[in-house]
Amino acid sequence: MATLSRGVSRKPAVEGLTTGGFLEAEPAAEIGLINRAVAPDVLAAEVGMLMDIVAGKFAVAIRMGKSVFNSRTECPRLRH
């Protein structure tokens, strides 16, 4: 639940947790649960494109960026 509450605003998160309803891809993207929704026939191409972008970056830089981002978003004093 902690990850959900960080990625999605409170109202949609509570609604999903209390109703247990199924969420289609487009609404999930709209509320920030997923980054984007793509049609099944282009999914493999989209994943391949993202993999190529990430693979072209320095692994150390990605790790450092994720570490800084996570440390800032997990510190309550720095959120607001």
> Per-residue pLDDT tens for 16-53?
888 888 888 998 898 888 889 999 999 999 999 999 99
Coil vs helix vs strand at 56: coil
Residue identified by tokens 């282009």 is 42
Residues 13 and 23 in one domain: yes
Name the residue range of residue 47's domain. Answer: 39-80
Residues 18 and 33 in one domain: yes
Confidence of residue 71 (pLDDT cuts 50, 70, 90): confident
Mean pLDDT in the chain? 83
pLDDT given at position 32: 86
Residues 43 and 69 in one domain: yes
Confidence of residue 75 (pLDDT cuts 50, 70, 90): low
Residues 50 and 70 in one domain: yes
Residues 9 and 26 in one domain: yes
DSSP letters, 45-78, are HHHHHHHHHHHTS-HHHHHHHHHHHHHHHS-HHH
Residues 33 and 45 in one domain: no
